[in-house]
Each structure stands twice: as C-alpha cells, then as structure tokens.
C-alpha cells in the first residue's frame, strides 16, 4: 500500500503516485510478455495423432536464435584452352559400336483419371489432389510463432491423410527422388497458400514423410530449413544440434538471425538425399537441337531431340557435390540418339581415331547454345549437351559418361583446383597418371584440338587433387 507522510507537498504526492503506477504497468507488461512466451497457444482438441500433439508442445516451447554458420562457395576456371590440331596415330582394333534397339518406358501422360478438387502442373503433368475444404483458403496469413502454431493445428486437424497417400503413390509412379518429392509438395503448397503458410504446409507434409525439415522465423518471414545428407553449395546453412540445415527460402539480409525450435517432429529423422539415380517419368515435350562439328575438313551434323520437361526439372536442382552429377543417368532416348549418330562417323575407324573423334566432338560442340541458364554452375550431362558449357567439370562429366558407355572402358575424373579433365584406361602412349598401378591417359574436353594423351600446358606440372569414378 502506498503511504505518503503527512506534511509532504501535494505535487510530491502526485509524483509518487505516478511513479508507482508507471512501475506497476512496466512490471505488468513484462509479466504479460513472459506469459506469452511460456503459455501454450490454445489449440483444438481434434488432434488424434500422438506425434502431432507432441510436436505442438515443441512448437509451443521457447525458440532459440541461430546465426548463419556458413555458405560453401564454388569456384571454377571457365577459360577454355586451345592448341593447334594434329593428327593422332592409328592404334587399336577397328570399332563397331553395338547400337541396341531403344526400349522406351511408359511415358506418364497428363490425365484426370484421379478425381480431385485441386490440380497442379508438375513439369507437364497435370496432377489432381483431394484437398480438405478447410485447407482451400489462400488468404491465410502466417507471420509469427503464434500464427505458425495455429496454422499447424489447422492442417493437423484436417483430413490430410489423402494428400500423403497421393504423394506416396505419385512418388512411386513418377520415380521421384527426394528433390522431386519436395518440388511436388511445394507446387501444391504454393497453389493453396501464400508463401509463409506454404512453407509451413510443406514442412508438415515432409515431416509426415519422415524428412527432417523445420520452419523458422527470419526477417518477418517463415523460412524453410532442410537437413541434407549431401553438401550443398552457394546456399546458407545453420548448425542446429550438430546437424547442417540449409535454407530453402528467400536469402536473408546479412547477419539476420534465425529463430526456430531445437527438437524435431517425432520420427522425422531422414536427411534429404539429393542423389539422382534415375530421371523422373514426365510427359515428353519435344525440343530439337542441331549441333555442327568440323573435323579434318569435313562437316558433321548431329540432330538431337530432348524432353524439355526433364531439362526444366534438372534446372531447378540446387548445387550439390560433383559425384551426384557424375553418377546421374542420361535419358535412354537421348543416349540412343548420340550413340547411333556417332556410330555413323566412327564405325570402321581404329580405336584411337574413334575415341579421339568423340573427344574433339565434345570440345567443339559444347559452345554456349542457350543463355537462359547459368552454364558456369555444375550441370547434369543432359543439360551440358543442350545448353553447352565452358565449365571443365560439366564437360568432363559428360565426356566421361559417354566414353564409359560407348566403349565400356574404365574412366576417372582428374580433379584439379577449379578444373577437371578425364583419365581413360586405354593402352596408348601420352600424358597420363598411374592409378593403382594402371596407366590412365588424359583426355581433356576443355582443351580445344587437344588429342588423347595431350595435357593442357597449364596443368602439365600439376598433380590432380584427387580422382573420382
């Protein structure tokens, strides 16, 4: 109780009373703020899934700030070397390429056989989903922790299981890897909601598929964090419980803090695997390309047809380690076109002439054809062939894959700092390397007019950092 001594001036009495009221209001505000941070948001009682109830407790717990841990940068030497053309010696048996008939797998057609109330265009496939009515509002605004919790409760209390079942079925039918599943879910999320809510919905569905994914708050936006098995490049990441989470949202301002929860959705412990063991099954959208190659006074023409939907899918890929690109397949139809057209020009030639022809074809035909993508980044073989590239890594990956399949020989990537070439297990003299006692001859698709066994002068006295196969 406030007491003022008798005889004190009235002004002092009023000042004392005002001070008390101010102090009381500040303490009350602090208590209210503390209560907001620790008191769970009221949620519905319609959650029957134990994991959802457990996760709501995690969302209601205190979130922590995390600073950016790093961003792995890729650096390339994109300058192409050049030398004078010289004739290579004729060595080895005459080549006759075994061109097998093409067996094209069933191509997924766009159809409305599955009756749904929402459709998305997934790289040419019109895919229908049955979406609960309570999730068919794209006007939901999610911009703070309280709104995230309420939105999660909304989704978790809906009939979402049909969505999960549909995605699992499409994953199998379309041969989608983890990145393909992510793109499909994000397409659907962006069709249903605004960006912030879409990120929460994407996280919810991925968690249900046991992927280790989180949402976070940053710069007033809801960010999406993905725990990856692979190292990703040119992308911000954060260390949360000794796990590397990559940011898959708008790039934040410099030194922007990220606010999120430490624990995971129950059983959502699978890291993303960006390995591409097979291409997705997508409708065929034809795009043609003519490649012209001049060699020893003769002109050679190649006409190739690509699936634009596959190219568009590959163009979305984040920058991952080189081994992902090296071991990714090329579409059977495209490889069949290359092998049959090469066979017209190299059948009957000696092995050395045939292999050297393929090398020179790669050197001269992979100039920049299209400007719509950044061809200095890592690319898959299909992209390199279509768009062209001055990046030695992309050229080497494509050439290594073609040589291995055409001639059934052992190949290695010779990795230098910011540069790459190819090493071939063939019985020829020339510059090369001994790998486990076997002599591999260098072949450099980024050294114009350089023959088999001919090294770019800049790297003659430089040992590769490693070999990759």
pLDDT tens digits for 438-457?
999 999 999 999 999 999 99
Element holding 19 (H helix, E strand): helix 10-38
Task: Tell me, yes or no, whether 248 and 379 share the same domain.
Answer: no
Higher-pLDDT residue of 367 and 287 is 287
Q: Tell me, what's the pLDDT at 38?
A: 41
Is residue 357 included in any domain, yes or no?
A: yes
**With contact defined as beta carbons under 8 Å apart, do 80 and 367 qualify?**
no
**Considering the entire predicted model, what is its pTM?**
0.86
Q: Tell me, what's the pLDDT at 425?
A: 94
Domain count, the chain: 2
User: Going edge to edge, which strands form the sheet with 221-227?
Assistant: 64-66, 258-260, 213-218, 221-227, 243-247, 237-240
Is residue 8 included in any domain, yes or no?
A: no
Higher-pLDDT residue of 77 and 229 is 229
Element holding 17 (H helix, E strand): helix 10-38
Q: Tell me, what's the pLDDT at 80?
A: 72
Q: Tell me, what's the pLDDT at 254?
A: 65
Task: Tell me, yes or no, whether 246 and 305 share the same domain.
Answer: no
Mark residue 241 as left, alpha or beta (left: phi above 0; alpha: psi -120 to 50; beta: remaining). left
What residue ranges in 389-458 does DSSP mark as E strands?
411-416, 419-424, 432-435, 438-443, 447-448
Average pLDDT over residues 206-222: 94
Instruction: For residue 343, report the phi and psi dihedrals to the nearest 5 degrees.
Output: -60, -35
C-alpha distances (whole Å) from 43 to each of 39, 145, 146, 201, 351 are: 12, 13, 11, 17, 72
Is residue 379 included in any domain, yes or no?
A: yes
Query: CB count, 10 Å around CB of 422?
Result: 29
Average pLDDT over residues 99-113: 53
Range with lowest mean pLDDT among 113-117, 260-264, 334-338, 413-417: 113-117
Q: Tell me, what's the pLDDT at 90?
A: 66
CATH number, position 326:
3.10.620
Q: Is the pLDDT of residue 50 over 50?
A: yes
Arithmetic mean of pLDDT over the chain? 84
Nearest to 78 by CA among 366, 318, 380, 331: 366
Of 47-61, 82-96, 98-112, 264-278, which has the strongest mean pLDDT? Answer: 264-278
* Joined tokens for residue 190: 């962006």
SS3 state of residue 305 = strand
Instruction: Tell me the C-alpha distance between 330 and 198, whole Å.
Output: 33
Average pLDDT over residues 392-417: 95
Task: Tell me, yes or no, whether 197 and 91 share the same domain.
Answer: no
Q: Tell me, what's the pLDDT at 98?
A: 64
Question: Which of the listed residues 260, 282, 315 is the one where a domain comes to its end?
Answer: 260
Task: Tell me, yes or no, whether 85 and 192 share the same domain.
Answer: no
Is residue 295 included in any domain, yes or no?
A: no
Task: Tell me, yes or no, whether 100 and 114 share the same domain.
Answer: no
Task: Tell me, yes or no, whether 437 and 388 share the same domain.
Answer: yes
Is residue 155 included in any domain, yes or no?
A: yes
Q: Tell me, what's the pLDDT at 95?
A: 59
**With contact defined as beta carbons under 8 Å apart, do 176 and 121 qualify?**
no
Task: Tell me, yes or no, whether 333 and 436 share the same domain.
Answer: yes
Report the number of secondary-structure helices (H) and strands (E) in the chain: 12, 19
Is residue 393 included in any domain, yes or no?
A: yes
> Which residue range(s) make up the domain with 245?
50-73+108-260
Is residue 170 included in any domain, yes or no?
A: yes
């Amino acid at each position: 109780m406030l007491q003022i001594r008798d005889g004190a001036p009235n002004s002092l009495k009023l000042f004392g009373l005002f001070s008390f009221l101010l102090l009381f209001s500040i303490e009350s505000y602090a208590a209210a703020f503390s209560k907001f941070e620790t008191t769970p948001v009221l949620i519905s009682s319609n959650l029957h899934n134990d994991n959802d109830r457990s996760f709501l407790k995690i969302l209601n717990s205190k979130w922590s700030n995390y600073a950016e841990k790093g961003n792995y940068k890729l650096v390339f030497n994109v300058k192409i070397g050049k030398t004078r053309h010289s004739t290579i010696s004729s060595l080895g048996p005459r080549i006759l390429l075994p061109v097998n008939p093409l067996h094209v797998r069933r191509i997924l057609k766009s159809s409305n056989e599955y009756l749904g109330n929402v459709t998305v265009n997934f790289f040419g496939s019109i895919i229908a989903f049955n979406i609960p009515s309570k999730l068919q509002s794209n006007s939901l605004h999610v911009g703070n922790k309280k709104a995230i919790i309420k939105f999660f409760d909304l989704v978790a209390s809906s009939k979402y299981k049909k969505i999960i079942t549909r995605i699992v079925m499409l994953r199998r039918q379309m041969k989608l890897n983890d990145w393909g599943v992510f793109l499909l879910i994000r397409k659907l999320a962006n069709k249903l909601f605004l960006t912030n809510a879409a990120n929460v919905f994407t996280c919810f569905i991925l968690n249900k598929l046991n992927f280790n994914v989180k949402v976070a708050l940053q710069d007033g936006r809801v960010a999406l964090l993905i725990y990856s098995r692979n190292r990703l490049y040119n992308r911000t990441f954060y260390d949360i419980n000794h796990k590397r989470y990559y940011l898959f949202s708008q790039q934040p301002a410099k030194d922007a803090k990220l606010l999120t929860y430490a624990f995971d959705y129950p059983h959502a412990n699978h890291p993303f695997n960006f390995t591409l063991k097979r291409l997705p099954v997508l409708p065929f959208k034809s795009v043609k390309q003519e490649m012209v190659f001049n060699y020893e006074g003769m002109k050679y023409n190649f006409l190739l047809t690509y699936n634009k939907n596959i190219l568009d899918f590959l163009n979305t890929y984040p920058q991952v380690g080189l081994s992902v690109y090296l071991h990714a397949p090329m579409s059977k139809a495209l490889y069949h076109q290359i092998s049959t057209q090469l066979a017209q020009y190299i059948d009957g030639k000696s092995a050395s002439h045939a292999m050297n022809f393929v090398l020179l074809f790669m050197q001269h035909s992979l100039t920049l054809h299209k400007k719509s993508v950044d061809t200095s980044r890592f690319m898959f073989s299909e992209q390199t062939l279509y768009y062209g590239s001055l990046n030695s890594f992309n050229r080497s990956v494509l050439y290594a894959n073609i040589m291995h399949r055409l001639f059934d020989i052992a190949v290695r990537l010779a990795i230098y700092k910011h540069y790459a070439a190819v090493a071939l297990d063939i019985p020829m003299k020339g510059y090369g390397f001994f790998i486990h006692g076997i002599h591999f001859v260098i072949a450099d698709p980024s050294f114009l007019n350089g023959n088999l066994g001919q090294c770019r002068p800049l790297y003659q006295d430089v040992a590769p950092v490693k070999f990759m196969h």
